[in-house]
């Protein structure tokens, strides 16, 4: 198995101001990477261009592409890597919370958020995603998840079809301990690397976010984390031969229960 270099971006999202977010991110990229950019995958939080403004009209992207997707393509080409983050996209009379994965050559894949946050009435404005997705980069299979998906282990159960789980979020500070706990639980139960990418700051609904952007290994050990309440990009290289050896020495996955999603 090969290696994959991950860069995860934790920042304070401007509410309903796409251009301000693009400007802020471009400055963060420039400050962090300077002339030494070396990442295969650059990850942004959930609804990175607008904030979690699910009940606002006119903020969603067109389904065949919009401003945020064009910007992702620009960044992917500029930094010669996959750039990924979620945006709200128009679909029929609702939106979908779409996690875009954009390659340097302009190729686009996506995953639509499956589990909608009932407490925030997300289901009233956002259509439920129907398909579990595996995305492959440099031979590494990746399971993309968005925020609330983290609470549902059946959806993220490793069928030995992925090596890395990525969750991008607007996870509130009030439930931060749940975020920290479940990221480690998902890593251990699925014997996989896990990357969690969360925002900081207060959104337009006065909800506070403290971050918790982190990279965790298959044993539940934290490899690197961003500083709470601070804009930061964390970067590390994952060596998937270590995962392969771990699973060879401790093949708990062979004793997993069979199941089917309905």
pLDDT exceeds 80 at position 116: yes
| Residue 109 falls in the annotated catalytic set | no
Contact 77, 43 (CB under 8 A): no
**Cα gap 73→137, rounded to integer Å:** 16
Q: Which residue has the higher pLDDT, 29 or 35?
A: 29
Contact 52, 241 (CB under 8 A): no
Mean pLDDT along residues 3-7: 97
At 1 the pLDDT is 57
pLDDT tens digit sequence for 209-257: 999 999 999 999 999 999 999 999 999 999 999 999 999 999 999 999 9
Contact 69, 108 (CB under 8 A): yes
pLDDT exceeds 90 at position 262: no
Structure confidence at residue 92 as a pLDDT band (50, 70, 90):
very high
**Cα gap 213→189, rounded to integer Å:** 20
Catalytic, out of 46, 60, 61, 122: 46
Mean pLDDT along residues 117-146: 96
Whole-angstrom CA distances from 135 to 147, 161, 190, 245 are 18, 10, 17, 22
At 34 the pLDDT is 78
Neighbours of 68 (CB within 10 A): 25
Angle at which helices 18-33 and 67-79 pack, to 10 degrees?
A: 10
Whole-angstrom CA distances from 117 to 52, 54, 62, 157 are 11, 11, 23, 20
| Residue 81 falls in the annotated catalytic set | no
At 35 the pLDDT is 65
Contact 183, 189 (CB under 8 A): no
Can you list the alpha helix ranges (DSSP code H) found in 55-212? Answer: 67-79, 153-156, 176-190
At 135 the pLDDT is 98
Mean pLDDT along residues 122-132: 96
Contact 238, 194 (CB under 8 A): no
Instruction: Output the CATH code of domain 3-255.
Output: 3.60.110.10
At 261 the pLDDT is 79
| Residue 63 falls in the annotated catalytic set | no
Catalytic, out of 60, 113, 122, 184: 113
Contact 41, 137 (CB under 8 A): yes
């Amino acid at each position: 198995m090969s290696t994959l270099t991950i860069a995860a971006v934790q920042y304070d999202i401007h509410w309903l101001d796409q251009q301000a977010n693009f400007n802020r991110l471009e400055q963060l990229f420039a400050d962090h990477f300077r002339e030494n950019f070396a990442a295969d995958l650059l990850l942004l939080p959930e609804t990175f261009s607008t904030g979690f403004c699910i009940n606002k009209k006119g903020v969603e992207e067109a389904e065949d592409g919009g401003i945020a997707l064009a910007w992702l393509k620009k960044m992917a080409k500029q930094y010669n890597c996959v750039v990924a983050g979620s945006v709200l996209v128009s679909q029929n009379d609702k939106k979908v919370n779409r996690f875009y994965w954009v390659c340097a050559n302009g190729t686009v894949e996506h995953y639509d958020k499956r589990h909608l946050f009932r407490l925030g009435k997300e289901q009233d404005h956002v259509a439920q995603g129907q398909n579990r997705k595996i995305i492959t980069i440099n031979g590494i299979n990746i399971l993309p998840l968005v925020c609330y998906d983290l609470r549902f282990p059946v959806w993220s159960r490793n069928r030995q079809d992925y090596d890395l789980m990525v969750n991008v979020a607007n996870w509130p500070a009030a439930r931060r301990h749940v975020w920290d706990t479940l990221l480690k639980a998902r890593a251990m139960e699925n014997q996989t690397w896990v990357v969690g990418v969360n925002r900081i700051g207060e959104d337009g609904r006065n909800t506070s976010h403290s971050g918790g952007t982190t990279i965790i290994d298959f044993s539940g050990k934290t490899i690197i984390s961003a500083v709470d309440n601070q804009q930061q990009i964390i970067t590390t290289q994952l060596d998937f031969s270590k995962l392969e050896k771990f699973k060879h020495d401790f093949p708990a996955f062979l004793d997993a229960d069979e199941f089917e999603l309905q």
